[in-house]
Amino acid sequence: MVAQQQGKFTVGDYLAERLAQVGVRHHFVVPGDYNLILLDKLQAHPELKEVGCANELNCSLAAEGYARANGISACVVTYSVGALSAFNGTGSAYAENLPLVLISGSPNTNDPSQYHILHHTLGHPDYTYQYEMAKKITCCAVAIPRAIDAPRLIDRALRAAILARKPCYIEIPTNLAGATCVRPGPISAITDPVTSDKNALEAAAKCAAEYLDGKLKPVILVGPKAGRAGSEKELIEFAEAMGCAVALQPAAKGMFPEDHKQFVGIFWGQVSSDAADAMVHWADAMICVGAVFNDYSTVGWTAVPNIPLMTVDMDHVTFPGAHFSRVRMCEFLSHLATQVTFNDSTMIEYKRLKPDPPHVHTAEREEPLSRKEISRQVQEMLTDKTSLFVDTGDSWFNGIQLKLPPGAKFEIEMQWGHIGWSIPAAFGYALRHPDRHTIVLVGDGSFQVTAQEVSQMVRFKVPITIMLINNRGYTIEVEIHDGSYNKIKNWDYAMLVEAFNSTDGHAKGLLANTAGELADAIKVAESHKEGPTLIECTIDQDDCSKELITWGHYVAAANARPPRNMSVQE
Ligand code: DPX
Ligand code: MG
């Protein structure tokens, strides 16, 4: 703030100060003439570090990943040509419940009233369209009309994003970023959490305790919103008070410790791990904590639990026959932990059902590389310091099957499912967590979407290990519905990432065709700290997990349901 205190304080300074106060330390940017003054202001803030991205899609996805690590992030782009690309990562943040602040420069405030046609726009003088579009993919969108409105609108958007765990949108005209502005008031006005309504909390916990008392076989099902609500600690507290089985949805992997004695695996219908499905289907009560039932998590609607559900969401609790608003998940779980009766019947049953650990075959060094051997070697890489990103494709299934050691983190983007997400998202995440070893499992098709962002890993010397599984195409799509469109042009991936080095970079690109080559490459990656290492793992085109095949069949069937309510003429 020193530099800013000496000169005039501007709208850009206000935004910078607020971003720093809510905990942003890196902001992701692509410059354009509508946002340059704003970028100068953000750059001038001593607590913000500017991180340039190769394009706005990657910029928004890097911010999405940063929000996973940091709780909140900022992505700054130019009008339309930039923002419309950044809408994609903003959509991801919405779907994945992450507070991402999308900030866009916009036309000079004098232009709309003069009916001026401007560059980077649709070519007609109504410049409200981007703001209108942003409203649909954020929990709060504001367009600043005058400098005097900036504090109120910026504060409103930030508070909404923090409370809802959703993205917000702030549009700042190019001639307002440098306009004089008042200084911000106390940050607690924005960051103070909303607590539960005391009466609703009491009533919900009482209702839950009574409901559970009447049940013989309760199971807890954890979904991705449990982690987003920051309730991991309270979840353990509650689970231990209950003593019952805890299954996780695939997108919640890592949100409850896998070495905990009550962990019974990933519930994913037919492709569940560790007999989690047997437990879920045996239960007579299901406490769904932050669960999301979509077509993917229910395996094409074949695995929707068929008993009434008790739903604990981020800010409300619903039972068969009762609903309680303004009950925060964390508070509810820790309060309920003091009210419930211990019932470990599902754990007694699980001990009888728990499958023995599978025998894992170790390939000979010269054996051609297989999917199973990659998984075996990746499993050995995992430590308490690992953060594992798995991209859409067979990497989801391979990642879900791995056993996470205590402390290891797992990131998946299962609601939005944007191929290529993992490369920029892991980059954003790793900037915030330099102490962790970020590993990415990504397919060849996914990598081709966002490959440029590896060059930022080179530029910022981020030592991410990218395991690129090259099966020469879109295999998940092959399993859902095959066609020539699922073939892609092969690249020399190892050589490509070294091209990003130019004269000053330190990326390593390695190729593994055999089990031994992969083991050697992993050793190199683990000791390489000056930049990213990409290991291209080549496998046969048909070598995919049986879980992917099974899941693909059911999802294909769900996609192919004929239209209902057709008129008789049709
Ligand atoms: C598509 C998917 O190579 O993984 O293991 O070979 O399937 P697998 P790849 O990365 O291919 C991914 C491909 C094309 N999905 O199989 S999952 C549709 C799709 C999407 N996101 C975007 N476009 C298309 N999920 C941005
Ligand atoms: Mg592929």
Those residues whose C-beta lies under 8 Å from the C-beta of residue 97, and which sit 6 or more positions away, are 165, 166, 224, 225, 228, 314
CATH 3.40.50.1220 boundaries in the chain: 196-351
Give the model's pLDDT for residue 567: 62
Closest CA to 216 of 246, 187, 249, 242: 242
Find out whether 300 is annotated in a ligand binding site. Answer: no
HEC letters along 86-139: HHHHHHHHHHCCCCEEEEEEECCCCCHHHCCCCCCCCCCCCCCHHHHHHHHHCC
Query: Residue 457: helix, strand or coil by DSSP?
Result: helix
Architecture of domain 9-189: 3-Layer(aba) Sandwich (3.40)
- For residue 568, the model assigns a pLDDT of 60
- Determine how β-strand 508-512 pairs with β-strand 465-470: unpaired
Using CA atoms, how far apart are residues 462 and 454, in angstroms rounded to an integer?
9
User: b vs e for 43-80, b when ≥16 Cβ sit within 10 Å of the residue's Cβ?
Assistant: ebbeebeebebbbbbbbbbbbbbbbbbbbbbbbbbbbb
- Among 191, 89, 94, residue whose Cα is nearest residue 138: 94
The annotation status of 33 as a binding-site residue, yes or no, is: no
Give a three-class secondary structure readout of 11-27: HHHHHHHHHHHCCCCEE
Evaluate the CA torsion angle 556, 557, 562, 565 in order and state its sign: negative
What per-residue confidence (pLDDT) applies to 476?
85
Q: What is the pLDDT of residues 493-508, one digit of tens each?
A: 999 999 999 999 999 9
Residues of the chain with CATH 3.40.50.970: 9-189, 369-554
- CATH dotted code for 196-351: 3.40.50.1220
Assign residue 538 a region (left: φ > 0; alpha: ψ between -120 and 50; beta: otherwise): beta
Testing ligand 1's pocket by substitution, the residue of 477, 482, 486, 542 carrying the most ligand atoms inside 8 A of its CB is 477
347 forms bridges with which residues in the sheet?
A: none
Q: Is 92 in the pocket of ligand 1 (CB under 6 A)?
A: no
* pLDDT given for residue 3 in this prediction: 46
Going from the Cα of 468 to the center of ligand 2, the distance in angstroms, rounded, reads 9
User: Which segments in the chain show pLDDT lower than 70?
Assistant: 1-6, 566-570
445 lines ligand 1 (CB under 6 A): yes
Q: What is the C-alpha separation between 238 and 339, in angstroms, rounded? A: 10
Q: Does ligand 1 have an atom closer than 6 angstroms to the CB of 471?
A: yes
Q: Is 444 annotated as a binding residue?
A: yes
The share of the chain scoring above pLDDT 90, in percent, equals 93
Both structure tokens of 67: 């929000």
CATH dotted code for 369-554: 3.40.50.970
Which pLDDT does position 522 carry in this prediction? 98
The predicted pLDDT at position 4 comes to 47
What confidence score (pLDDT) does residue 240 get? Answer: 98
Residue 60 and residue 142: Cα distance in Å, rounded?
18
Nearest to 168 by CA among 31, 33, 63, 34: 63
Q: Is 503 exposed, middle or buried (0-12, 13-18, 19+ CB in 10 A)?
A: exposed
With a 6 Å cutoff on the Cβ, whether 444 touches ligand 1 is yes
pLDDT value of residue 1: 46
What's the pLDDT score for residue 525?
98
Is residue 446 lining ligand 1, measured as CB closer than 6 Å? Answer: yes
Distance 472 CA to ligand 2 centre (A): 5
Strand order in the sheet with 465-470: 409-412, 386-390, 437-443, 465-470, 533-538, 508-512
Strand 316-319 relative to strand 322-325: parallel, antiparallel, unpaired? antiparallel
**pLDDT at position 566, please?**
64
Strands annotated E in 413-494: 437-443, 465-470
